Structure 1
């Protein structure tokens, strides 16, 4: 058997091996009380201050985070408002540009039409002037040719300028009247 069992049998007492002796319980209680007192007096207040500092930091951090989140929401709303304003302003600028473009186009059309009318009128004037010049040249040329033919037909020279001019004018008038009759008869 074991030594413990032998000793317990000799003493005749019933000893519970799970239960320590009374002096061990008392001295253990005194040690626990002293350790508990020091723990309660010195360690626990330090833990409390550390825990309160941490909780203040956490609460302050949460508060700062909430404030930052509120500021971020406010900045986001301002950004959205500015974006909406910018979009409205861009739409207004586009509309103004479109209106100005239409005005410029209308002015350019008007200017081009006026320039075209001016060019056409100038062309008509030049054409009329050239026509008049050609008619004058043709009359004088035709007059000279008629005089030369008349001289050849008559056989004498028509040297008198006054007679020549009168004959040429009368011949041209006859041609004009024949030309007028032929255009009105058609």
Structure 2
């Protein structure tokens, strides 16, 4: 009996035919259930992830394009602002030069007006001094004439005539000296 038992003993390397059939049927049932329920979920999740990744890449590319467009727009605006700032600086310089020229012209006008006023004051003071000197010289000349003549020049007409004659002679002498000194 031993030999029959030993001959019937199962070889561990070869499976039993019933186990193969049951294993195959169980595998097919499991594959069918997985194919109907789990694999579609895997496919759906895979497709969603693919869409997310591709969409994310597209959104990233679009964001990069938008960023590049915004950067270009900002650079153009910055260049425009720089140009405007340069124009404003140039305008301010020109305006400053114009203001400086206007102030210089006003200062020159004021200086000319002050000079003219000063000359007028000098002329008025000179005329006043000449009048005062004429009066004093006239009085002195009347006194001198009275002493030389020996009589009094009491009336105004003769006094005036004497003073005017004396002053005219004095002016004539002064002019002759000026012309002879200038020659």
Matched residue, 2:30: 35
Q: CA RMSD in A?
A: 2.6
> Do 1:151 and 1:157's aligned partners in 2 also have CA atoms closer than 8 Å?
yes
Structure 2 length as normaliser, TM-score? 0.83
Aligned-residue offset at 1:113: 1.7
Partners in 2 of 1:42 and 1:78 — Cα distance?
53
Partners in 1 of 2:141 and 2:13 — Cα distance?
168
Partners in 2 of 1:18 and 1:112 — Cα distance?
123
Structure 1: where are the runs of 5+ without partners? 1-6
Structure 1 length as normaliser, TM-score? 0.82
Matched residue, 1:174: 169
Aligned-residue offset at 1:153: 5.7
Aligned-residue offset at 1:175: 1.8
Structure 2: where are the runs of 5+ without partners? none
Deviations 1:18-39 (A, max 9, x none): 4443333332222222111111
Aligned-residue offset at 1:15: 5.4
Aligned-residue offset at 1:14: 7.7
Q: Which moved more, 1:19-28 or 1:46-55?
A: 19-28
Matched residue, 1:50: 45
Equivalent residue of 1:86, what SS?
helix
Matched residue, 1:83: 78
